[in-house]
């Protein structure tokens, strides 16, 4: 599910950053900013901020950085998700099993001894005593 969401995010970002309206909006904002700034500092009127900033190159650079980062994130999620699930299961199951072994340990021993054929009863008892001692 996380992989699907990251794929959708990657697709949406790609579409948003490749939209020509975004570059136009940024360009208009840079013009407005330069106009306000040139009112305060008249020397800035001679500098063309749009050409200095290279907006389209910046957008494509940001897009490639974001796509690379999302790709690395998806790779890490697929690499480590199995390990995280195993650790989570272990963290849940170990206390659960331990609780029932402590609570019903004697009953489990007796049930096991009832299941084992009679000729293996003595060996099973010795094994259970060794396990219990450990």
Tell me what pLDDT residue 126 has: 92
CA distance 69 to 83: 22
Contact criterion met (CB below 8 Å) for 41 and 86: no
pLDDT at residue 27 tops 80: no
Report which of 95, 70, 79 is spatially closest to residue 5, judged by C-alpha positions: 70
Tell me what pLDDT residue 44 has: 67
CA distance 74 to 68: 10
Alpha-carbon dihedral 114, 116, 121, 125, rounded to 10 degrees: -80
CA distance 29 to 60: 18
Tell me the per-residue pLDDT of 53-72, one tens digit each, with 9 for 90 and over. Answer: 666 667 667 777 777 887 78
Residues 6+ away with beta carbon under 8 Å from 30: 49, 50, 53, 55
DSSP calls for 66-84: HHHHHHHHHHHHHHHHHHH
Q: pLDDT confidence of 81, banded at 50, 70, 90? A: confident
């Amino acid at each position: 599910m996380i992989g699907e969401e990251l794929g959708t995010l990657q697709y949406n970002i790609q579409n948003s950053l490749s939209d020509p309206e975004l570059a136009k909006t940024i360009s208009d904002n840079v013009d407005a900013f330069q106009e306000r700034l040139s009112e305060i500092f008249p020397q800035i009127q001679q500098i063309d901020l749009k050409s200095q900033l290279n907006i389209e190159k910046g957008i494509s650079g940001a897009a490639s950085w974001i796509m690379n980062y999302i790709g690395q994130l998806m790779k890490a999620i697929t690499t480590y998700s199995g390990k995280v699930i195993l650790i989570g299961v272990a963290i849940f199951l170990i206390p659960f099993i331990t609780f029932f072994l402590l609570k019903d340990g004697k009953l489990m021993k007796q049930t096991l001894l009832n299941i084992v054929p009679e000729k293996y009863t003595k060996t099973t008892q010795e094994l259970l005593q060794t396990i219990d001692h450990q």
